[in-house]
Chains A and B, each alone.
Chain A
Amino acid sequence: GENVEQHPSTLSVQEGDSAVIKCTYSDSASNYFPWYKQELGKRPQLIIDIRSNVGEKKDQRIAVTLNKTAKHFSLHITETQPEDSAVYFCAAIYGNKLVFGAGTILRVKS
């Protein structure tokens, strides 16, 4: 079925450390994997995305990796800052529908 598993559900890191969030998907036909950041009471904001024809994409402190064989993808945030604290959602395309993971609460301690 249409399923996206996301781990961990909560993640606490010290400012300056790296944070990694992992997701798996179930449909090998999925070809688009975005990551969203959501602050309390606000809409999700796209922070990075990757398509199935590449294995890695980087944008400053944020990177995403994709392993199509294993059907998993990960978000990497380096040099974390307090303003990175938020809920992060991974998602995968199933047909024309975007299905979200359960979310990860990231807390960056200063």
Chain B
Amino acid sequence: GAVVSQHPSWVICKSGTSVKIECRSLDFQATTMFWYRQFPKQSLMLMATSNEGSKATYEQGVEKDKFLINHASLTLSTLTVTSAHPEDSSFYICSASLAGSSPLHFGNGTRLTVT
């Protein structure tokens, strides 16, 4: 149980274009999902907390107009990287937890490369 599916697993896009990443909880409902970014040989850095039916909460230094988060249902959150630039190239991972418990379950991650 507690499976989180993330799509796509990798994407290459041109500078200036937008990319959408989907995160789904397959066998549970997630009122809250978390988006992390991981640069090579670094740790996971929380970008934002996605709340179903309300606005996302962004961490300091993360541009909300650049990283658009939508959490329209209890099983789906999306992250759109708008006007992507090479410095946005990274590993993006979503996660969710069962309501009322702490363990985070991670998606497989999306490797974004901006050329």
Contacts and interface: CB of A to CB of B under 8 A. Distances in A.
Interface of A: 32, 34, 41-46, 49, 51, 89, 93, 96-103
Contact of A96 (B49, B93, B105, B111): B49
Contact of B34 (A43, A44, A97): A97
A83 B32 CA distance: 33
B7 to A, nearest CB: 13
In this complex, the member of B43, B93, B106 whose beta carbon has the largest number of chain A beta carbons within 10 angstroms is B43
A89 B104 contact: no
Contact of B44 (A32, A42, A89): A89
Given A43-B109, A89-B43, A89-B44, A98 B104 contact: yes
Contacts of B45: 100
Contact of B103 (A34, A89, A99): A34
9 contacts: A34-B103, A45-B106, A97-B34, A98-B46, A98-B95, A100-B43, A100-B45, A101-B43, A102-B43
Interface of B: 32, 34, 42-46, 49, 93, 95, 102-109, 111
Please provide the 9 A-B residue pairs with the shortest distance between their CB atoms, ordered closest to farther: A43-B106, A32-B102, A100-B44, A100-B43, A102-B43, A103-B43, A43-B109, A43-B108, A98-B104
A99 B44 CA distance: 8
A24 B108 CA distance: 28
A32 B100 CA distance: 13
Nearest to A4: B43
Contacts of A89: 43-44
